[in-house]
Structure 1
Amino acid sequence: MAEQLDLPYSGLVSFGQRPFLTEPEQLDSWKPDVAIVGAPFDIATTNRPGARFGPRAIRATAYEPGTYHMDLGLEIFDWLEVVDFGDAHCPHGSTEVSHANIRERVHTIASRGIVPVVLGGDHSITWPSATAVADVHGYGNVGIVHFDAHADTADIIDGNLASHGTPMRRLIESGAVPGTHFVQVGLRGYWPPQDTFEWMQEQGMVWHTMQEIWELGFKEVMKRAVGEALAKAEKLYVSVDIDVLDPAHAPGTGTPEPGGITSADLLRMVRQLCHEHDVVGVDVVEVAPAYDHAELTVNAAHRVVFEALGGMAARRRDAANAKPGPPSPLAT
């Protein structure tokens, strides 16, 4: 009955049906390029909870799309070894313990030269996850391109320093990722207020609002954002809050904000970033499947991960093709 494992809707649950590993020693044996890890934590959510179910849904519920990338012209897993490294342990009601466990598990991956791709969880998980990546690659050496409807740069929300609206400020204040190393795309709506924008300006942050995207077009804003990201740091971490998408594309999230970008635009930008830059970490957060419709949000998040993997695979392929081979025996 081994054939049941080949079906996307039955058998064991792992991202993309990749090998499921649980122990660090298994990472040492497999030596993958990328490890998927879940961060099923959502008690930092300010509106609708449920993102703790995101990692399981992205793994199990998404339509299985195949692994050939039409636009890049490659079979992703021919160029990239990917495993599923399970979830960080996030006990209910324990923010500090959960965040510490997320940081430890991501560090276990990144310290081995493997790229962690983290499935959230609410956006507070970016604080421990990106910190773990900076622990490995050096504080100030990692930049973040952050797709979101909200800047997530609040100081404190309802007495909570670890809210899903505060992780980018925590990263900046800790020194893990300087404000000058942030590029944000898709901001819109009611938040943040003026005083928070002023703090962001003081930190040297760069952002592109939906109004700017509407005026200039997405391709121009994408060109600017990629250029800014490339100029700021040697390494790049990509953080995707699924609410950067318009709710028509991603209704299953805790804080849906009308007027967002399309899934087509997001997927192409994530692919380009991972193709053109040395990406050392990715997260996709705020998928709350209980509010989803027809699995629109789950499938969009699933494809974001596959576009990131496709970009990394194409980068590896291009590097391999650029290397000079041994001299031809027919050369004179």
Structure 2
Amino acid sequence: MTGFGTLSFSARNTFVGVPMRTLETIGDAGVVILGAPFDWGTTYRPGARFGPAAVRDADYLEPDGRRPHLDTGIDPLEVLGVVDIGDVAVVPGYIEDGIDRIRRVVSAVAATGAVPLVIGGDHTITFPDAGGVADVYGHGEIALIHFDAHADTGASHYGMLHGHGTPMRRLIESGAVPGDRFVQIGLRGYWPEPETVAWMRQQGMRSFFMGEIVERGLAAVVDDAVRHAATGARGVFISVDIDVVDPAAAPGTGTPEPGGLTARELLDTIRRLGRDLQIVGADVVEVAPVYDPANITALLANRVILELLNGMAQRSLAG
């Protein structure tokens, strides 16, 4: 159900050269990277199916499976035992089947005790990947911190249940992640409509809009996010839509929205969350390489993954 080069747009290489495994040979890996090359939930610019391959390859260093961090001196790939099982074999155009395949693979990874780290793909995949983690840890038992320009809480996707504008609503409605265990950071722009924002508040979602981040400062907002997510949850799932970052640093995405976080702000915040919280799963989504001059968006997503792993390694070493 997963592998390398199984489809024309599937990844051929592992993430920065970490060991290649299959779903059946994960062994005692602490973190399992997998791709979800799924973009048939997009509403504007398609192409995120090519994200998993681009993010894995977006590195100017040797693909040797080693990445010692200059600031921390830690090689998180070694500390955590990171492996890569390739991409879920999703079939273009079959939304429900793709969602089911992603969920089954992520659930199987989480059931081994490893942390699944999913490279998308459009944001539709957060419904099955966070849902798959919740299937293992218990519905209502995990929190979710969501970085995005958009809330992704739409009631429907052109009349359909699933699309990249609906996954957070589907997670809440399914009971996988209750609204009061949701934290959203970076929302801005002109969607969703006021009725949907009112629904979000009714569910108890904590949404930090860019206006509040600018007024209070990102550090204060992240303090609140950590407290909110850590309270009573067995673990935290992190979902990063790369469009949370200003298009100046992340142009290669399907629905860019000006006025976002800087690349530095996102990287520092992600490392902090990995260090301060018990991470049980994560995804990085919406990288669309065709719109990505000089591969800067894919490189940023690659570094988001490495910074999250570094924070998790710091936490692991601290005991």
Distance (whole Å) between structure 2 residues aligned to residue 174 and residue 244 of structure 1: 25
Runs of 4+ that moved beyond 4 A = none
Matches within 5 A, 1:186-197: 186-197=186-197
Q: Does 1:45 align with 2:59?
A: no
Percent of paired sites with the same residue: 51
Once superposed, what is the RMSD of the aligned Cα atoms? 1.2
Distance (whole Å) between structure 2 residues aligned to residue 227 and residue 64 of structure 1: 36
Distance (whole Å) between structure 2 residues aligned to residue 20 and residue 39 of structure 1: 16
Partner of 1:310: 310
Partner of 2:249: 249
Q: Does 1:55 align with 2:52?
A: yes
Partner of 1:268: 268
Question: What is the SS of the residue equivalent to 2:254?
Answer: coil
Question: What is the SS of the residue equivalent to 1:215?
Answer: helix
**What whole-Å deviation, never above 9, does each CA across 1:140-182 have from its counterpart, x for those lacking one?**
1100000000000001121121010000000000000000000
**What whole-Å deviation, never above 9, does each CA across 1:189-231 have from its counterpart, x for those lacking one?**
0011110010001100001111111111111212222222112
Partner of 1:205: 205
Shift, 1:232, TM fit: 4.9
31-40 or 219-228: bigger deviation = 219-228
Distance (whole Å) between structure 2 residues aligned to residue 123 and residue 62 of structure 1: 23
Distance (whole Å) between structure 2 residues aligned to residue 139 and residue 95 of structure 1: 23
Shift, 1:71, TM fit: 2.5
**What whole-Å deviation, never above 9, does each CA across 1:60-115 have from its counterpart, x for those lacking one?**
23333861122223222331100001111110110111111101111111000000
Shift, 1:117, TM fit: 0.3
Shift, 1:259, TM fit: 0.3
Partner of 1:92: 92
**What whole-Å deviation, never above 9, does each CA across 1:278-318 have from its counterpart, x for those lacking one?**
10001000000000011110010000000111011111110
Partner of 2:160: 160
Matches within 5 A, 1:117-266: 117-266=117-266
**What whole-Å deviation, never above 9, does each CA across 1:28-87 have from its counterpart, x for those lacking one?**
3xx100000000000000000000000000112333386112222322233110000111
User: Does the 8 A contact of 2:39 with 2:48 survive in 1?
Assistant: yes
Give the total of aligned pairs: 305
Partner of 2:111: 111
User: Does the 8 A contact of 1:180 with 1:232 survive in 2?
Assistant: no
Q: Does 1:294 align with 2:314?
A: no
Provide TM-score, normalisation by structure 1: 0.90
User: Does the 8 A contact of 2:16 with 2:59 survive in 1?
Assistant: no
User: Does the 8 A contact of 1:240 with 1:285 survive in 2?
Assistant: yes
Distance (whole Å) between structure 2 residues aligned to residue 140 and residue 18 of structure 1: 33
Provide TM-score, normalisation by structure 2: 0.93
Larger radius of gyration, structure 1 or 2?
1
Distance (whole Å) between structure 2 residues aligned to residue 213 and residue 145 of structure 1: 15
User: Does the 8 A contact of 1:54 with 1:119 survive in 2?
Assistant: yes
User: Does the 8 A contact of 2:45 with 2:253 survive in 1?
Assistant: yes
